[in-house]
Amino acid sequence: MVRRSLLPAADYVVIATPLTPETKGLIDETALRSMRQSAYLINIARGAIVDEAALLTALNEGWIAGAGLDTVATEPLPPESPLWPLPNSFITPIVQPCHHD
């Protein structure tokens, strides 16, 4: 059961759920807008659980304070992704492109 009613009370929202038809796109614009402006979204599950377009808007417009992403929809995260330059987007090494010499 999804408890979206708890989002406005959370300082940190950590996503740790399997990707299923019910969880795909679970964190969408409505969910992000309901979070505190001081809240952080942490995704350690699967990228498709978060609507990345809505997340980008949320980060750019200050709906939330930031996001820590251990997973994204496209892995590795392409170098041209608009998530890279955002000062409030924290990308873990698992989603970074591999560089081989």
Would you state the pLDDT for residue 94? 72
Has residue 31 been placed in a domain?
A: yes
Would you state the pLDDT for residue 39? 98
Has residue 32 been placed in a domain?
A: yes
Has residue 22 been placed in a domain?
A: yes
Has residue 48 been placed in a domain?
A: yes
Per-residue pLDDT band at 3 (split at 50, 70, 90): confident
Work out how many domains the chain is built from and give that number.
1
Note down the domain range covering 70.
Answer: 4-95
Pairing between β-strand 89-91 and β-strand 66-69 as defined by DSSP bridges = parallel
Q: What is the pLDDT of residues 23-47, one digit of tens each?
A: 999 999 999 999 999 999 999 999 9
What DSSP designation does 1 have? -
Q: What is the pLDDT of residues 45-73, one digit of tens each?
A: 999 999 999 999 999 999 999 999 999 99
What CATH number is associated with residue 78? Answer: 3.40.50.720
Would you state the pLDDT for residue 22? 93
